Amino acid sequence: MNVRLQRVWQIWRGRRHHSPSAAAYLVYAAVLVAAVVVVPIVRAIWLGLSQDSVSTYIASGQGAVTITGLITFIWASMAVAGVYLGPAVHPPFLAFATAGSELPRTKVFRRPLSIAFALVGAAFVVAAGACGAALIFSGAWSPLRASLFVVAGLFSGMVAAVLWLAGQWSTRVAIGASAGLVAEYALSLVAPAFSSALPSAWVGYVALGEGGPAPLLALAVVSAALLLAVPRLLTLLTVEGVLEQCFRRDATISNAAALQLAEVSALYQAKPTRGRHRRAVLRSRSTPLRFFVVDLVGAMRTPGRVLAGALFAIVGGILLAVAVTTGGGLASLSGGVGGVVLYAALGPFTDGVRHACATVSERSLYGIHDVKLLLAHVTMPLVMALCLLTIGVVTAFPLLVALTISDIASVYLTGFIALVLRINGALKGPLPLSYLAAVPTPFGDPMAIIRVAWAVDGLLIVSTAGFLAADESVSPIILMAILATVVLIGVYRWRRREY
């Protein structure tokens, strides 16, 4: 390490003393979270992968197509994620002191970049290893084939990591790369002959055991070429862009530690760029229509955010539709993930709802009753949720075995639950002070868990609804009961709102 850079690191690390007790507490917290959260999730995934039907599906040609689509989606998402928060970030002081100096960028960002690339690669390797181990256990794959799939997972992780860094360098590159990947995958579905030219399809070929060593070698060449481009990408990063992402990461950590997830979400919202001079207020006597147009024009002023929300809503609809028709442990996981994806995707369409909830806590600005104002702002996200869910269900038709009225009702009820939870989140307000008090019990203080549950109540409820929607033994009436419960919670928060 450069002497000057080493001196900067010494100053930074020596700013405060790290006691052994603090380190021990971090280890204790990590072990506790792993035992309570990680282990049950890993067990559920393993049980789902160990099912004969799932193993047969993954080892089939349709499973290879699904793997290709999943890799394509992850690569495109990583490229877009780099626009908001990339891997080459430091604490703000270190970034200010080193990024603008004449020190080589490869040395300046070696530590965070190594950690980020290692984590991404490890995530891909673990996922591929779990899949391979389950298929070896079921007898569908040989150990050699599973080992090659794990190596392909490592190469795929390196490609995803470099795309992440490329997204941090340039927004246009990120959008172009993600759009190109999605377009190539769509083309491979229409014309399967073109799939051999799609890098993410090479992982599917390795899973099928087709093509010999060529797909794996091609994937290795692509990942090596991209890794060789890392020093150049680091050089192209601007100091202003790096500092902006460093401050954003620092603010994210601070707000997340305080369980202010709404503020965390606001940090990553795009600023309005287009259509700011376009008339938004429609001259109409219909109040719902007028506010529908206002919210739609306002959302379109951040086209990238709206497009991402629409795509993720469609993906959520596909996951829910596949989950409710297939059944099983893996389908339940797909339903839970689909509910969470749909909940997150509705964010760009509910800005008007959040504005209405903030407005009704003050004096009247529009001369409209508070309830009318809120319901008027709900029209646009409601219509968009219905349309996008319908597109998702229609798109998933080739993957569905049979779709009944009960299955369709489950999908749309989950969508309504996600929308009502978005409204409830806007009405939630700050963390109640009573939740900060300690409550000693024979089993310890449960308030830490209660605070976390309060912060992520929307994600917990919508994931549970998606999980139940995929269960064949659960009737849509249960989802109706969940919907009625979240509506009552919203009414309770509405009546207790502060003026």
Task: Examine the pLDDT at 495 and tell me if it is beyond 60.
Answer: yes
Q: Which residue has the higher pLDDT, 263 or 415?
A: 415
pTM over 0.85: no
Q: What percent of the chain has pLDDT over 90?
A: 15
Does a structural domain hold residue 43?
no
Other beta carbons less than 10 A from residue 206's beta carbon:
27
Taking CA atoms, 430 is separated from 425, 448, 454, 459, in Å, by: 10, 16, 10, 17
Task: Examine the pLDDT at 21 and tell me if it is beyond 80.
Answer: no
Question: Which of 22, 496, 459, 453 shows the shortest CA–CA distance to 259?
Answer: 453
pLDDT of residue 327: 66
Other beta carbons less than 10 A from residue 72's beta carbon:
23
> What is the rounded CA–CA span in Å between residue 171 and residue 162?
14
Q: What percent of the chain has pLDDT over 70?
A: 91
Does a structural domain hold residue 19?
no
Residues 236 and 273 in one domain: no
Q: Examine the fold and report which residue of 234, 252, 270 is the final residue of a domain before the chain moves on.
A: 252
Does a structural domain hold residue 107?
yes
369-392 in b/e form (b: 16+ CB < 10 A) is ebeebbbbbbbbbbebbeebbbeb
- One-letter amino acid at 454 equals W
Contact 132, 146 (CB under 8 A): yes
Residues 231 and 288 in one domain: no
Residues 161 and 301 in one domain: no
pLDDT of residue 157: 92
> What is the rounded CA–CA span in Å between residue 89 and residue 236?
14
pLDDT of residue 226: 92
Residues 352 and 402 in one domain: yes
Question: Which of 472, 169, 498 shows the shortest CA–CA distance to 359?
Answer: 498
Does a structural domain hold residue 58?
yes
For residue 58, the enclosing domain spans: 49-252
What is the per-residue pLDDT across 209-247, written as a single tens digit (0 to 9) for each?
A: 777 788 889 899 999 999 999 999 988 888 888 888 888
Task: Examine the pLDDT at 1 and tell me if it is beyond 60.
Answer: no
Residues 316 and 218 in one domain: no
What is the per-residue pLDDT across 149-160, written as a single tens digit (0 to 9) for each?
A: 899 999 999 999
What is the per-residue pLDDT across 447-476, written as a single tens digit (0 to 9) for each?
A: 777 887 888 888 889 999 988 888 777 778
440-469 in b/e form (b: 16+ CB < 10 A) is eeeeeeebeeeeeeebebbbebbbebbbbb
Does a structural domain hold residue 44?
no
Task: Examine the pLDDT at 303 and tell me if it is beyond 60.
Answer: yes
Does a structural domain hold residue 386?
yes
Does a structural domain hold residue 435?
yes
> What is the rounded CA–CA span in Å between residue 83 and residue 170?
7
